Amino acid sequence: MRRVAFVVTGAVVGAVGLLAYFLLVHGNYEASAVMKYETSVAGYRRLANIAFSQEGFNAWIAMRKLGGDTAAVAELRRILGDSALTQHSIAPFFRVTKRDLRDMPPVKEEEQLMTQLLGVELKFNAMVASDASEILKLGATYLRDLALWDQASELVRSNLRTYATEVPRLESELLGGAFDAEQLRTRVTQLKKISAEYPESARLGDRQLLPVGDQLGRTNFFLSPLAQIVGAESELVDLRIKMESQQRELQQARVAAAFYQRAIELVGEPSSGLQLLTALESLRDKVANEFNASGSESTRQIISQISSPLSELRVVMLNQPLFLTGDQVGVARIISPFKAALLGAAIGASLVLLGFVAPRLFAWLRVDPARGNAN
């Protein structure tokens, strides 16, 4: 029995040593970084709604065709399937922290900065440092791609609302301007007839007659027919200039409306932002060719206006480094409170066991097996 106790004690001590090595020497590693993503709180909530789910992540993985189910994919899928783990691993990173506000007066500007995000803070754990870094990079790539999809789709939706109402408004204004122009031309024609019937009215020149106002206090200004013709022609010139400008705006609005009406069909369900951006750029080129952008200055201008936010999205969301610290990811060795408690309990139990077995062990070592008595 003593020899059995000795063997059991050695096994327990070896197990505790292996546990200590597993938890401390080869323990958990945490990779942390802040992904670049300048947006509002509402933008972050939209991203959370479309990205924080296993279904969205699985669809993204299938669309990107990343290959087999790697350890990083499996771990990120597990985290996104648990809301508590997701909130622990992914959090908004504000421009101004509470500590910053403690050192500066809480003026309105700082309050506005608190509603703007500078990025998304990511923290992922793994047993090996390289695995933790791989999980973090995959998570950041996934979130940025979904953020790109969200911003591109919001761009399409907002501009579609704008130009969908802009086209009928400009058409209505042009119809009203055409009616006013026709009225002015009719007035000029009638005034010319009056001037021909009363040639002596031309001798009045620029003099005007001011009759006494009526009971309502209104006073009418009567100019000579020739002066009224000049005034009507002047109004007609101004109206034509205004209508030409409106016609140009209408042409641009029709091009933009055609683009965004087709672009809304590309949005659909949340998917890869890179694929959506590439499809929008291809659609822009197709619409430009259809409206003969090379021969129309106004069309080229609106195509340039469409291209500007798309180019900005490509630069900000694709060409810039993924993290605020560039491409570097910080990895630190950690031990969770649960595993620390587990290790402490194991060591404590082992010490108790050793305290109980040690006296018997020493007594056994002092016994001479051949003589059966202690030395």
For the segment 195-219, what is each residue's pLDDT rounded down to a tens digit?
Answer: 888 777 666 554 555 454 555 554 4
Question: Is the residue at 138 inside a domain?
Answer: no
Pairing of strands 29-40, 330-333: antiparallel
E strands, the chain, where? 29-40, 90-94, 116-126, 330-333, 367-368, 373-374
For the segment 224-249, what is each residue's pLDDT rounded down to a tens digit?
Answer: 777 778 888 888 999 999 999 989 99
Question: Is the residue at 35 inside a domain?
Answer: no
Give the chain's residues under pLDDT 50. 101, 104-105, 107-114, 206, 210, 212, 218-220, 375
Structure tokens given for 239: 């109206």
Please tell me the predicted confidence (pLDDT) of residue 220: 46
Question: Is the residue at 37 inside a domain?
Answer: no
Question: Is the residue at 197 inside a domain?
Answer: yes
Question: Is the residue at 52 inside a domain?
Answer: no
Please tell me the predicted confidence (pLDDT) of residue 151: 94
Range of the domain at 189: 153-319
pTM of the model: 0.72
Please report how many Cα atoms fall inside a 13 Å half-sphere around the Cα of residue 82, on the Cβ side. Answer: 9
Question: Is the residue at 238 inside a domain?
Answer: yes
Q: Looking at the 3D structure of the chain, how many domains does it have?
A: 1
Question: Is the residue at 184 inside a domain?
Answer: yes
* β-bridge mates for residue 147, sequence order: none
For the segment 99-124, what is each residue's pLDDT rounded down to a tens digit?
Answer: 554 554 454 444 444 468 889 999 99
Question: Is the residue at 293 inside a domain?
Answer: yes
